[in-house]
């Protein structure tokens, strides 16, 4: 594996780790915050304690690392239109993270009167859609091989969509959001680790 692809694979593994650490640290300083009922964005909302830390040390780096992971996932699955589309959508997913931090939520959790909050919600929803689409596209690319990557990718895509769009209902929005993120990042980490393992095996 070339040096840049190795770094790309490491980015895919580090992305959820950094996000999880930042979330745990910031949430620990917020006794009023609930991982069950509240979204991650609430930790980075304007005016909230340690919001800047959450955005600059958690959400934005996780998004950037997700973007950087796309080349190694594409290399792992191989060339093709669906695989290339998956790489592009995976990058968009990472950019979605960054955009939600750039347009951090302002005011009450249900306030959609400002353009900023509407943009935040738009980027969040489109970002989560990309989190589901990226594994789906890569999985469809691998369908002819019938490998475990095909089934695992389809499962990850389905779980992200269900947790992200079908199941979320108050008061468990935070829980289902984390379920969607867990499904996506589990797929990303496994594929990134597989890329490293496959490279070492071939050498």
Please tell me the predicted confidence (pLDDT) of residue 203: 65
List b or e across 155-192, with b for residues whose CB sees 16 or more CB atoms inside 10 angstroms: ebbbbbbbbbeeebeeeebbbbbbbbbbbbbbbbbbbb
Question: What is the rounded average pLDDT of the residues 7-17?
Answer: 95
Please tell me the predicted confidence (pLDDT) of residue 89: 98
Q: How far is CA 156 from CA 2, 132, 153, 176, in A?
A: 27, 7, 5, 14
pLDDT, tens digit, for every residue of 27-44? 999 999 999 999 999 999
User: How high does pLDDT run on average in the chain?
Assistant: 93
Q: Which pLDDT band, with edges at 50, 70 and 90, does 104 fall under?
A: very high
The whole domain housing 13 covers 3-202
Task: Give the C-alpha separation, 191 to 185, whole Å.
Answer: 10
How open is the CA angle 128-129-131, to the nearest 5 degrees? Answer: 60
Contact between residue 70 and residue 91 where contact means Cβ atoms under 8 Å apart: yes
Residues of the chain with pLDDT > 70, as a percent, come to: 99
Q: Say how many domains are in the chain.
A: 1
Q: Is 90 exposed, middle or buried (0-12, 13-18, 19+ CB in 10 A)?
A: buried
Contact between residue 48 and residue 111 where contact means Cβ atoms under 8 Å apart: no
Please tell me the predicted confidence (pLDDT) of residue 139: 95
Task: Give the C-alpha separation, 113 to 155, whole Å.
Answer: 37
pLDDT, tens digit, for every residue of 118-151? 999 999 999 999 999 999 999 999 997 778 999 9
């Amino acid at each position: 594996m070339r040096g840049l692809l190795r770094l790309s694979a490491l980015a895919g593994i580090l992305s959820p780790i950094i996000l999880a650490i930042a979330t745990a640290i910031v949430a620990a300083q917020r006794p009023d915050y609930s991982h069950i009922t509240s979204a991650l964005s609430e930790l980075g909302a304007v005016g909230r304690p340690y919001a800047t830390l959450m955005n600059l040390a958690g959400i934005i780096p996780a998004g950037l690392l997700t973007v950087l992971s796309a080349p190694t996932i594409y290399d792992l699955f191989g060339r093709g239109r669906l695989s290339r589309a998956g790489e592009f959508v995976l990058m968009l997913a990472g950019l979605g993270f960054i955009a939600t931090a750039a347009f951090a939520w302002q005011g009450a959790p249900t306030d959609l009167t400002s353009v900023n909050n509407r943009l935040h919600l738009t980027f969040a929803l489109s970002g989560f859609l990309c989190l589901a689409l990226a594994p789906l596209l890569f999985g469809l690319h691998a369908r002819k091989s019938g490998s475990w990557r095909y089934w695992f990718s389809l499962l990850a895509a389905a779980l992200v969509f269900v947790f992200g769009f079908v199941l979320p209902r108050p008061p468990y929005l935070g829980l289902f959001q984390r379920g969607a993120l867990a499904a996506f990042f589990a797929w990303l980490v496994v594929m990134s680790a597989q890329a490293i393992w496959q490279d070492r095996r071939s050498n």
